[in-house]
Structure 1
Amino acid sequence: MNGMWLVRHGALPPNPERRIVGNRDIPLSSAGRQQIYALAHDFMPILAGRLAAVVSSDLGRCRETTSILLTGNEWTASPPPVHFEPGLRELDMGQWQGLTKAEIEARFPGQYDARGRDFAHFRPEGGESFAQLQSRALEAVRRWRGRYPEGTLLLVAHAGVIRSLLAHYMALPLDDALRIPQEYACRTFVPEW
């Protein structure tokens, strides 16, 4: 089977002000770790001996998710090779990262609404568009699929990355990508990728 499992990292610490996370390196919360331990317990035994490789975003929350997923499972021979891939990092929101919606509207008048009108192509100052994110994520998948043409890959990444890959796979416009559910610690299988 040449499919690919896409796993989102666990929950982050509470963010009541709804500050833009983007690709800031924020660790998992204790609740997020528990989500991934539960996922490892229920899901990873099914994959033992079936994974060609694990490819993870290089941000800490995905590294930790990967570590938890691979710890404590019975592998038939040895655990699959693990690779950390910058191309699977979350969307770079540039100067918006760490800001609230109100702060963005105050510092960059009209830009928040402009992003809403052209979600796929709008790029915050110093950041990247969702189309750019999709392009680099697809390139990373192509590169790793080329390295492991046979077998199943496990990708550990972020909501934006996974949504962009699924939008491509399902031939959806990027403007519809936010409609694709991506809860913390969820998993999705894509056959024949």
Structure 2
Amino acid sequence: MKLGPWEGLSEDLVAEKFPDECKIWNSKPSQLELEGRETLKELQLRALKAVKKFSNSSENLKILAVSHVAIIRVLITHFNNMSIDDYRVIDIPNGAVFLLNNKTQKKKISRIF
């Protein structure tokens, strides 16, 4: 995720330097727009483009994709029909494994480990 002016800053420093923006991020993350910072919707569209590319090129293959928490969260909100504003409440422990069920008409992501 492109963080723009937040790049390289700790959460505490971001909260100190950008208090109003942090309030938005913590309550309605889809509404946060900062110059140079990717919105959640932009991130989600970028992630979906990659998923579509892999899905189209590997009809019966199993694919392992490794990613950061931001990508996993926006994909979960999309495929599980959740609001993108639920992004911050989705628990993604380190090393968690998720499965995108691509065999049915309605795709869904579920945690398997």
Contiguous gaps of at least 5 residues in structure 2:
108-113
Correspondence 1:172 to 2:70:
no
Higher relative contact order (CA 8 A, sep 6+): 1
The structure having more radius of gyration, on CA atoms, is 1
Q: Once the two structures are aligned, what percentage of the paired residues are identical?
A: 25
3-state DSSP of counterpart to 2:81: coil
Q: Which amino acid letter does the alignment assign opposite residue 98 of structure 2?
A: T
The 1:184–1:109 alpha-carbon spacing in structure 2 relative to 1, beyond 3 Å, is closer
Alignment of 1:181-192 (within 5 A): 181-192=91-102
3-state DSSP of counterpart to 2:30: coil
Match among 32, 50, 64 for residue 154 of structure 1:
64
Structure 1: distance between partners of 2:80 and 2:92: 15
Structure 2: distance between partners of 1:120 and 1:185: 26
Normalised by the length of structure 2, the TM-score is 0.78
Structure 1: distance between partners of 2:86 and 2:56: 28
CA RMSD of aligned residues (A): 1.8
Residues 123, 129 of structure 1: 8 Å contact kept: yes
- Counterpart in 1 of 2:17? 107
The 1:142–1:178 alpha-carbon spacing in structure 2 relative to 1, beyond 3 Å, is same
Q: Which has the higher helix share?
A: 2
Q: How many residues align?
A: 103
